[in-house]
A = this chain, B = another copy of it.
Amino acid sequence: MNETLSKEKEEQIILAARKVFARFGYSKTTMEDISVEMDMGKASLYYYFPTKENLFHAAILYEQEEFIKRMGLLLKKQKTAEEKLKAYVEERLKFFQELVNLGTLSYNPFHNKQSVSIKMYESFSEKEIDTIKSIIQEGEMNGEFMSSVPAHYPGLLVHLIHGLRLRIIKTLTGSAMDSKVYKELRNEMIMTIDLFIKAIKN
């Protein structure tokens, strides 16, 4: 099989898998379900993705990359560093909602500390911190923010926002997030970014 074709096929499988994961959640989805959705033999499916977990990781990675691209475009549209920080938090929340819809709540990668998904999460988290860093630098340069925002603040912001998500996850009973919980989380995130901006503003 030609490599380009193979890449294309992989992406088709990931897109089909996303649909199925979103329908049943991670734990209830089977490779059978995905092969049916793809109209593809199970043997071929296993050729591309040896396990369900494997395919789930690929789907999450795909979502992460999509988010980063979308984020880049969105940030370009905002004029001030303050607007960029706010847009970031808002978009990050939507991304969280998408992951929840993919069934991530029924998937607990923390049973294995060396697992691929933890590495994926950490590398994504580093990218988030880098994005926040560059927005803050922009605000330092253009005089919106104080000239020397503490170096640990970008990491702190990402962790605070992450912590708020974890609190909410703990209170969820099912695999979905109802609109009341979503609003609560959104309010807290908006308050957090406002607090953060107040603290670093010139």
> Who on chain B is nearest to A162 by CB?
B167
Residue in B153, B162, B195, B199 whose beta carbon sits within 8 Å of that of A153 in the complex? B195
A residues with CB within 8 A of B: 110, 113, 150, 152-153, 156, 159-160, 162-167, 170, 173, 187-188, 191-192, 195-196, 198-200
CB-defined contacts of A162 to chain B, threshold 8 Å: 163, 167
A191 engages B152 (CB within 8 Å): yes
Closest 6 CB pairs of A and B: A163-B163, A198-B199, A166-B166, A199-B199, A195-B199, A163-B164
Contact of A195 among B110, B156, B188, B191 (CB under 8 A): B156
Q: Do A159 and B164 have beta carbons less than 8 Å apart?
A: yes
A188 / chain B contacts, CB cutoff of 8 Å: 156, 159
Residue contact A170 to B160, C-beta cutoff 8 Å:
no
Main secondary structure of the interface of A (DSSP, over half): helix
Q: How far is the CA of A32 from the CA of B160 in the complex (A)?
A: 42
Cβ of A198: which chain B residues have Cβ within 8 Å of it? Answer: 198-200
- Find the residue from A113, A167, A200 having the highest chain B CB count within 10 A: A167
Residue of B152, B166, B173, B196 near A170 (CB, 8 A) is B166
Kindly state the separation between the CA atoms of A173 and B200 in the bound complex, as whole angstroms.
35
Cβ contacts under 8 Å, A167 to chain B: 159, 162-163, 166
Complex CA gap A191/B196 in Å reads: 11
Q: In the complex the two chains form, what is the Cα distance from A160 to B163 in whole Å? A: 7
Contact of A160 among B110, B160, B173 (CB under 8 A): B160
Q: Given A163-B163, A167-B163, A198-B199: A191 and B113 within 8 A (CB)?
A: no
